[in-house]
Structure 1
Amino acid sequence: MKNISVTAFIHILFSVAIAILLATFLLFLSWDKDRQKIEEFKRYQLISITFLSNLRLNPSQEELEKLYEKLHVKPVSKAEVKLIKDEIKKGGKTIFTGGSSAGRVQVFSINDTHYIYVQRMSYNLMLRDDRPADYKFEIAMTTGVFLILLLLLLYLAVLKKLYPLKKLHKEIQRFAQGDMNTCITYEHDDEIGKIAKSFDDAIRHINELSASKNLFMRNMMHELKTPITKGRIVAEMLDDESTKKILVRAFERMNELISELAEIERVTTQSFEPNMEYVTLEEVLQKSQEMLMAEKSCVKIEIENKALTTDIKFMALAIKNLLDNGIKYGKDKCVTLRTNDSFIEVVSEGDALEHPLNYYTEPFSQAEKRSSGFGLGLYIVHSILQKHGYKLGYRYEEGKNIFMIEPDMRRRFG
């Protein structure tokens, strides 16, 4: 029950309520039918006993009239008796038979009209049952229909009241999927309207913060580029080769950091969508090697060429960062790139990671001894793979660190 949506719960609740009401109504009809049969039997039994006992006393016409009125019956004229008897013979249904040594009483039903035939020596009376109409069934039907309609109206009213919640959910989903221009509308000042207003205020605030962050990042990277370029030019003019080498390397690392920050800003935005195209794995790896600032002899390729649909630029960047890590931190400063059932593995010799993999996929979180990097490489890899429906895995075997790019089954099937 915890995972059932509010709408589904309301469907179930009203369905059960209507089912219970219908079951109660049908039980009442069954009970009412049995009650009518019992009351009818008792009534005709009373008429039988009353008439047979009174006819023995040879009552006057006035006494008979009083008896008719008391028992709610009317005598049938002699002209109608013959016609009624013919109808009884054709399709009349006997619903009661009673009597004693004093005589006999039979009740026939013709077209929902009941006729009482009393036989007593010299008396042969044909009476029409004239009891007042019983409206209990009609009242029950009206009440039942009214209650069902009332429940249906309440059901529709509740669904209508919840409709803005569905609309709100769709608008929030649009925002979560990267539509930063989503505007949540709200018409009423009820609880749902207040929630919608709060979400709209939150979206506006998030957009303001995001715009402020983007402006800050772009200005910062732009402002840093100029002094770094000037510093690089000045460093090249130095005569001391040792100092020049240190400064040039420092400025190169600053440029790398700015470039990595730019890629992080783009990849991690909600609105980022990879430019998917049909390429081969060889094309991706070729682009990765072009981006890699290292000797090709340091990278050993053992791949089976495959076709895949991906953003070649960003997938190449992810593989380049894995290769770069393997070269930087490997004992022999070389790395092997191979394919298997998973997808791609990047293998390098070295000590096992001191922390779980998720520690290294956080920005700026690197082992203390790894002072040659900024701790952004695996974070960028992780972010790119997430956008492409892959995940980054790791295992350590026989003195080798193995980073794996493999399909994220939870994302594909979850």
Structure 2
Amino acid sequence: MWRFVVALVSVLLIASILLGQIFDTLYSSDDTSEPLVSEQLSLTLPLLKLMALGEVSDFDPNLMKDENNQRNAILYTRAMDEYPLPALLQEQLKRQEPVYLETQEHVMVHLLTSTHDILIYQYDKQIEKEDYRLSLTLSFYLLLVIVIVIFLAPFVRRLMRLSAAATKLGDGQLDVRLQVGTLWYIRDIELSFNQMASKISLLMDDIKLLAGGLSHELRTPLARVRMGLDTLVEAQDEQLRAKYESRVNQQLDDMEGLLIHMLDFARLQHSLDDAKPNKMDLAQMLSSLISNTYHGSVELTLPSESVCINADLRYLNMAVSNIIDNAIKYGRSKCAVKVFYENNHIAVSISDDGQGIDAEKRATVFKPFVRLDRQQCPGFGIGLAFSAKIISRYHGTVEVDDCPDLGGARFTLRFVSE
């Protein structure tokens, strides 16, 4: 918002300065009193000097007045010591130079006489027939208001669009987005709204997935628990009762594990927002993870130079280990991890020698509760969804295709190099 304040203050200052100069020029060009004053003095000053020198003794003061004495011209003398003048002006008088004094109503010309008195000629200023000052002032503020309105018009229009979009978002239209404009002082607000809307939409999608997955995944173990309890009540054989008790406990453990994983997935976005990413060496992280966790069962290929990205070490470890675990689970005997540069990005490929993933199913493997082989591989289908969300949080991408070397699936992670 500070950008808008800076832009508004800048426009006000620039508009005030420019309009002030324009109106000052206009007012000065309309001011016709100064030439009239100069003309009046040019006619009377030679005669005043003669009178001050005493060369004109029988002069009639009425001759100094203009027609009908419209300017109330008067002529009088004052003693030097009775007329307070600054020392600088007194020195000017002694040099026989006229001293001009001006008030809001009068113009007075002072000359030193031969008797060391002060001869004063006073007349009224030219009265302007029309005073444009009020109209110019009103015009100045009117134009300033117009400039402000022109400046605020696109801002208000954008705010109205933002208000309408926020209303639609509140009504449940989660796909609403603002078209980001070119106004630099409101662009950040529009981008922030779009980011907020995207996060809300993503959270709602996660809630829908969790709700759908919960109802689907819990239906089978609940039915088994119900059937096991019914059978347990009717069974009389102690060995058979123990067997059914073990099965019921196993189903309850599975349900508990499912709920824990679902809660972890629901809290993941909030945890990622709280985690502060730092610059880290991806090659060093992968080397430490594979050597400490997989004990030589994963082949690692690293570049000679360091590869740094901006991420949180704990969550990135979780994302990569989930994909490696998935490769080991579905592969036969080999899993390879390779780090390389690709088009100004850092890429990490995780490949296995399994059966691979069909092209039409590749887009679904990153959704929660999706398991391609439910019979042979246990789990809840949340690991890859965890990885995709973490990688996306750190401005990365993940995709899956076929590995040409091992023949199985290949997951490729791409990050921006720091």
Q: What TM-score does the superposition give when structure 1 sets the normalisation length? A: 0.49
Q: Which has the higher contact order (CA 8 A, sep 6+)?
A: 2
